[in-house]
Chain A
């Protein structure tokens, strides 16, 4: 495309060392090249733009907003601005003084007017159980309060004379708070501001997070164990047969998740097919039917089945590329079948193993529907608790904090995985 123009060429045999190369229209070649590159880049950007925008709008922005919620909860300061201001002056040693109570009484009137008191009541009730009705009833009575407000409020409900409640309110009045992250690891702040464990009968999230990681690990292990021989079989059979068998892997993969989960319910429940068959064969007694669902066993069985294709497919695609001659060469050089397999074959499948393990594990850690349906009480994962806080308790900040912790955990595991296996060695198919 770019040619050195004639008049620049001094003569045959001589080379113009300093003269810049130019394009046909006389512009320097370097500039021309940069232009062309820019155009290509722009074209590429335009092509990717719809996807980029889509990912931004449906993925990055919502997740970002959700994560912000986990540490930013401005309800209190928005609904009770004067109280928030007045509480800044309070040292927390004794009950707040009249100024705080007066500001609070003023705010209550507004909150009643705007019907926003419920939002604050809910917010404070997370940290101070049982205070909800004190807020709503104080708002109802707010028009009747007269100075001195401190006496008036305490006369309306003793709880306004509790220093602990005011300490909780002072904490809630700060818009940025670590409270939800603390709660998500079973910790809380006591009245003096120290971080302490919550009562042991309320500790749950650390246990659930560990259980989620443990179950995801077990499921990943099972998927690898069951998937490896299947992938090996598929890869070593003639193409016609293996394509036929491949359908058996792909059909369930294409079937709806809900259908497969409910199918497992029909199979495993105590009045289900497997138990019926076992009873009919006199293997178990009618009164001692096996409990295989609505517990951890159910979660493990159903999720392993559902995630199995994610481990078979990458393994298969890697195994397909390994020439069988390597194994034969190893055998002819005197290796036992086991040595040849372990020393020659397995190392070559590591990219497939790694991809399968990573896919299955990350999918399993965030799984929601299957454990919700078959998990019963001890087969629930952390996503089920995120859903609980989104849908039932409406504590969205708590859901966001749990989600944040789950995200961070996965990031750390991904980083570890990258250190150990190397992400560039992955082969997804």
Chain B
């Protein structure tokens, strides 16, 4: 029965996609994570690009991962052109030939003439992908719900005695294992070395065990601000931009704790066999230019991936909040920070996902 349902849904979806595709075959399909983040891309990249080139963009949302990309490429029915992915997924998709290689020499140089290869923050260009932003998984709390001492360290997130209440966490081992080890006193520089050993993994899960019963698990990036606002949790891990937008944009009393942040980058990839490959490449070059990256920071607190963009970052769209200190890359926020190690996760995610799920179900 479920399979019947599923094939019916899939057939319906296929017809839907087909109808959508045939209605506007020349439109560029840009896929991203939805919510405040997609809005920032629409404002900073899509609208100016459409105005400049006269082409239309169809914006779609997804929840990350390369499952849809793989399904489209393997079925030979590619409807997405350009997708915003995490680094580990970009590398994996590249290794499996799902996305096309991109020559960094083709990217626009900085306004002062520095070639793109030197202008991008080291590690943000890869064989098939070009970074747009630096983002971070942090934890946040509702200041109006906590009286007296506020949480300031990653250890406080795991301290349910000092701060009794529910915790929100992403339903994935990624970042959570890092948080657990940081809270257990491991220095930021040693996280992945320790996590690579069975004892390290054991230690991380032991730490997670201490709060397991208080955790509400979230999956989509838009959920944690909602959980906080509804009072379902006292603190939650979240993507820093989402919390910033809820705080600055909707006046929620949410505070970000930067101690122990796990930062990562988001990149554009272009699908193998994308229907509008040339348009996608043009859009990619446009959106990773110095000015476009700096403009995006006006809409969400994610750091631009180009060095030359940083000085251009100004105020939030409300015209009064200084964006610089809100960036994951701001020096004050980087004191105890971990850079997500994509190679570690590419190697161990099968095993750790399995273990994490077994742990959750147990």
Contacts and interface: CB of A to CB of B under 8 A. Distances in A.
B357 A204 contact: yes
Nearest to A119: B96
Interface in B88-104: 91-97
A211 B360 CA distance: 14
B355 A202 contact: yes
Interface stretch (A14-22, A125-133, A314-322, A417-425): A125-133
A58 B8 contact: yes
Given A58-B7, A59-B7, A129 B347 contact: yes
Given A270-B232, A367-B2, A377-B217, A118 B357 contact: no
Contact of A133 (B216, B347, B350, B355): B347
Contacts of B65: 391-392, 394
A378 B343 CA distance: 31
B231 interface: yes
Nearest to B342: A133
Interface residues of B, number: 41
B232 A59 contact: no
Interface residues of A, number: 49
A115 B355 contact: no
Interface of B: 1-4, 7-8, 11, 65-67, 70, 91-97, 196, 205, 216-217, 230-232, 343, 346-351, 353-355, 357-362
A378 B351 CA distance: 20
A133 B343 contact: yes
A393 B217 contact: no
A399 to B, nearest CB: 11
Contacts of B360: 377
B347 A59 contact: no
Given A132-B346, A132-B347, A391-B67, A204 B97 contact: no
Given A129-B348, A367-B2, A388-B357, A115 B97 contact: yes
Interface string A162-182: 000000000000000000000
A308 interface: no
B70 A118 contact: no
A380 B348 CA distance: 24
Interface in A121-166: 121-122, 125-126, 129-133, 136
B62 to A, nearest CB: 10
B357 A62 contact: no
A62 B7 contact: yes
Given A58-B7, A118-B94, A118-B96, A271 B230 contact: yes
Contact of B347 (A125, A211, A390, A394): A125
